[in-house]
């Protein structure tokens, strides 16, 4: 179990929460590993789980494709390899949504209920996030969804978090991100947004030194956020207006 690690005190400052998607809302990283393994097998490359953990977990598809092409001198472009992986992912979510992670529904509902605005901020394609929100009945809680198609540069660049804060109507410092990987933590921190990390088995060895805190569970992270939230509990009338 991970103990919470606090880097600095925080006063009540958060008006919004930005959730990463893969590995934070849904248990998709093992599936992404299998999809990459199958795509690379067509080129005679064996991708081990240990290698995926060390180099590729949580990294956007195109960035991984560039690395695979360069390291293995593959006779295809990174764009072509990325497109093949994205096609495999789209085929997967056309059949089934990624499994939802523990505590997600309760955490999202609670943070929404105390008046925080919520966003999904992902380096994945919109089809993946939309499938999660629709199939797991989460869409009603989220005000903003930012995906790979919305920004010129993917994580670890800060573009997605800057855009999310802008669409939420707050300065990045008034929001907090929840991430599971080094690339995601780097993106949020570079945007000037405080970020907490909830690692999983494929990212536990990542560098989370730029996170404000590191937690073993999403529920623990949510308690830390709630203690620092500028709460304004939603009324039933306000919720019915949103619907």
Active-site position among 20, 22, 180, 220 = 20
Query: Which two three-digit tokens encode residue 177?
Result: 């991100």
Q: 20 an active-site residue? A: yes
Is the torsion defined by CA of 98, 99, 102, 107 positive or negative?
positive
Torsion of CA 157, 163, 165, 168, to 10 degrees: -150
| Active site positions, annotated | 20
């Amino acid at each position: 179990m991970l103990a919470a690690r606090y880097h600095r005190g925080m006063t009540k400052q958060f008006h919004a929460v930005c959730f990463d998607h893969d590995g934070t809302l849904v248990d998709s990283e093992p599936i992404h590993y299998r999809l990459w393994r199958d795509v690379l097998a067509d080129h005679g490359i064996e991708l081990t789980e240990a290698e995926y953990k060390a180099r590729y977990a949580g990294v956007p598809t195109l960035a991984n494709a560039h690395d695979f092409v360069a390291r293995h001198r593959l006779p295809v472009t990174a764009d072509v390899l990325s497109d093949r992986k994205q096609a495999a992912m789209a085929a997967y979510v056309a059949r089934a949504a990624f499994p939802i992670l523990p505590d997600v529904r309760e955490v999202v509902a609670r943070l929404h209920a105390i008046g925080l605005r919520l966003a999904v901020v992902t380096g994945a394609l919109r089809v993946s996030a939309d499938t999660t929100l629709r199939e797991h009945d989460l869409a009603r809680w989220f005000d903003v969804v930012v995906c790979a198609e919305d920004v010129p540069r993917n994580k670890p660049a800060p573009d997605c978090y800057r855009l999310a804060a802008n669409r939420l109507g707050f300065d990045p410092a008034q929001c907090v991100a929840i991430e599971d990987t080094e690339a995601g933590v780097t993106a949020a921190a570079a945007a000037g947004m405080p970020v907490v990390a909830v690692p999983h088995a494929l990212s536990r060895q990542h560098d989370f030194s730029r996170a404000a805190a590191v937690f073993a569970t999403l529920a623990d992270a949510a308690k830390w956020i709630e203690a620092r939230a500028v709460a304004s509990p939603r009324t039933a009338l306000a919720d019915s207006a949103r619907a």
